[in-house]
Structure 1
């Protein structure tokens, strides 16, 4: 499995008992590949082979000391964090090591928690450095190494390509990924792409956590032991166990209640959980990907979402642009969904009218790609023969619920209507606004207001009465 924890951690010390104890501590806390070296001369050749994620070395050893090795590691392998672990408890020595490029300085005997925390942070920093370098290369070269992972996402948008490039870089990290975006943008498709790119061998397990109370959340994710509650006749593993070695996708994470948020935070921080009714912690081996259509920062302000959980989730965050911000995808999506709808109905793919693209391009699509898919499937289902009818589209686009695309690309001075209404308004909305504004400025005098509007008092009175009615 290609993960941060599967990368090699090298322990270098001339004391065998220190090496054995440190290795057992790391292995017991989920670090999968720990190599020990009692001969410090073997370190540099090992680093040359690649695959090393972090080094923990003693300062005073025969042959090559840690004092000699540290600058060599920093110079030749700057991407590999080096942690000094020594019995020397001197401020001057610690300062010298940190100035020489040590990631951390630990004094023996080192508490297991302190060692684990230091190695964990070193791996995270190393992974972040590699991700930044990879992302720079991808963006500069406009490179996409695994386009097949995104085959289910129909797009020709540069914005979407940038999202793909970012996900390619971060998918192999063990950190959680937060996918945000409006309803219907296809967040689960991106989560599945992360799963495929990550190289994990386990299942992709998806669960919508919206509406789950704390008991349901715990039982669904963590499972329960026999007799945990009435009806629990036998033990049951939760979805987190099913996703072991794979990916657990938690959709609508912004709707999670506070008690469940605390349990999720523990899962992310400690990589462990408790089945319902059990006091024995289990280790989690699943990669966590979360998604939400809510603004979590606003949720935090309203005290509806935990601040610490948010910062744990957003180690890697990607925002999926709404359909109205990537209208260049409309022709591709229309063609794709026409074919999809026709195939599902066993019909010949209809020909879209030339006006369809123009009509759809002025709609805001609050339901995004999912709404477009539903519109086209409905139109194809109603279709008889020849060119596809625009009627079913007009019923939605021209209805009372129409929300035309805000003209965000122009200034308020260029587009005063959008500045007032927040979007391009209908004729009725403009008329209502002008009458209300004229009456306001005329201080309720219909004669003056009618003069300002360029209509008769009778006409204004009739329209105001019709509006009240």
Structure 2
């Protein structure tokens, strides 16, 4: 499944080239051949000529993958795997054998083998089996981390105690269990995806919450991304793939920036909302899906309907339930709670000590236009953590006119390095563009790639 910007924030997981492998085979030629072929691809590749030798290695090293010959002197590979399974080893395993038969296949499956490779084999065949096995392991670990993160975040709703946020959280709790479509509107950075996640968490639906940013995908890719495709459906469709509707079955599909969806695709989305069935590209077969749709936009969709860029019938179909999120400047009483939450989260992510915001900081913050809303506030808190400076110093001379394209900046402290000045200027431009890195890079006269590199370098230096 192709990833978009909404999938960008994922927990850190082990990359495949850092995985460890143990090869267990009594044939020295096979061991040496595989070790040479795999050494440059993975961080550690060890070998053992028997189950006894492998036991000694397992006593000191935890391996991500075991590649085991079935027929060996003494204990066979199957017998040895059964014994280490009984001792609690649940690692991935690929079996090899020169005498494959149905009994071997059944035993391998019973022990949870990821693959059974018959000798002689091509190295490409083995590499493919290893990649699939380690990909499965990585996804399993990633899913475990995500489940833990969800379990440790019991709060459902938006953070805040202002009357507006209290009403929105009450609305989320009320409409959560309903199957109806929801349209969330609000400025960029107000937390539309957070609201959509909260609605999903309140729904009791057993499927996944699957977000997609319609503005981040090329129009020609959006249909296959949503509905999936068969092999050969188009030039680059080398294999069949399910779409996001299938991944969201019995769950929720969040269509962020839905106003950017092409008109032709809007008609197909309308048909899915009406019929509850999708048609993958390249097939006439329709597949039933049970998906709740939550759409969001930072533009006025009613105005887009009047302009002819958004279908009126789709608008009414999506706008069954509506949730309007306020800009940060209309809920300034929530600033202390939001800042406290962001400090706790960012200090943990950056590995830095927490800081305190003073009343002087909040006094200056209440005067800001906050065009980037919560996203801009997050950037400010992160900048305070990294630079070790109070918020009121960083905000002095920030953009005062929301309609101005010029950044009015006060002089920087004389003890700042050139790197400090550059980073502070980058952050101010980012804030001015609501956290949009592409627009900020254009404003700065550089590329998005260079901007990302400079930001990451600064984080690494301060970590």
Distance 1:162 1:153 in 2: 10
1:214 positional shift: 4.2
| Paired residues, number | 253
Q: Deviations over 1:36-62 (max 9, x none)?
A: xxxxxxxxxxxxxxxxxxxxxxxxxxx
Q: How does 1:69-468 map to 2 (within 5 A)?
A: 150-151=155-156, 153-383=158-388, 388=390, 390-397=392-399
In structure 2, the partner of 1:453 is none
Deviations 1:50-103 (A, max 9, x none): xxxxxxxxxxxxxxxxxxxxxxxxxxxxxxxxxxxxxxxxxxxxxxxxxxxxxx
Q: CA deviation at 1:363?
A: 1.3
> Contact 1:363–1:402 at 8 Å: present in 2 too?
no
Given that 1:157 and 1:329 are in contact with CA atoms closer than 8 Å, whether structure 2 keeps it comes out as: yes
Instruction: Report the secondary structure of 1:229's partner residue.
Output: coil
Distance 1:394 1:344 in 2: 27
Contact 1:206-1:248 within 8 A present in 2 as well? yes
TM-score w.r.t. length of structure 2:
0.52
Judged with a 3 Å threshold, the aligned counterparts in structure 2 of structure 1 residues 381 and 214 are, in CA distance, closer, same or farther, namely closer
**Separation in structure 2 between the aligned mates of residue 337 and residue 397 of structure 1, nearest angstrom:** 22
What CA distance in whole angstroms lies between the structure 2 residues aligned with 1:149 and 1:212?
32
1:276-322: CA deviation from partner (whole Å, max 9, x where unpaired): 11111111211111111110011111111111110000001110111
- When structure 1 is superposed on structure 2, of 207-216 and 166-175 the one drifting more is 207-216
Contact 1:212 1:256 survives alignment (8 Å):
no
For 1:389 and 1:363, locate their aligned partners in 2 and report how far apart those are by CA, in whole Å.
12
For the 8 Å contact 1:214–1:259, the answer to whether it is kept is no
Tell me which stretches of 4 or more aligned residues in structure 1 moved more than 4 Å. 148-152, 397-403
Kept after mapping to 2: 8 A contact 1:178/1:291: yes
How far does residue 211 in structure 1 lie from its aligned partner after superposition? 4.6
Q: Is the 8 A contact 2:369 2:400 kept in 1?
A: no
Find the aligned partners of 1:182 and 1:321 in 2 and give their Cα distance: 8
Q: Are the aligned partners of 2:184 and 2:324 in contact in 1 as well (CA < 8 Å)? A: yes
**Deviation for aligned residue 1:360:** 0.9
Deviation at 1:233, TM superposition (A): 2.5
Q: Closer, same or farther in 2 for the Cα pair 1:401/1:375, shift >3 Å?
A: farther
Q: Deviations over 1:385-405 (max 9, x none)?
A: xxx3532222425586699xx
Q: Which position in structure 2 is the counterpart of 1:58?
A: none
Against the structure 1 CA distance between its residues 301 and 240, is the aligned structure 2 distance closer, same or farther, given a 3 Å change threshold? same
CA separation in 2, counterparts of 1:211 and 1:349? 34
Within 1, Cα distance between the matches of 2:303 and 2:400? 33
Structure 1, unmatched stretches of 5+, are 1-147, 404-469
| Deviation for aligned residue 1:213 | 4.3
Retained in 1: the 8 A contact 2:225–2:244? yes
How well do the aligned residues superpose, as a CA RMSD in angstroms? 2.1
Aligned in 2, Cα 1:336/1:372: closer, same or farther, shift over 3 Å? same
TM-score (norm 1): 0.51
8 Å CA contact 1:383–1:389 kept in 2: the answer is: no
Alpha-carbon distance in structure 2 between the residues aligned to 1:283 and 1:350? 51
Question: Distance in 2 between the 1:251 and 1:277 partners?
Answer: 26
Task: Name the CA distance, whole Å, in 2 between partners of 1:282 and 1:345.
Answer: 44
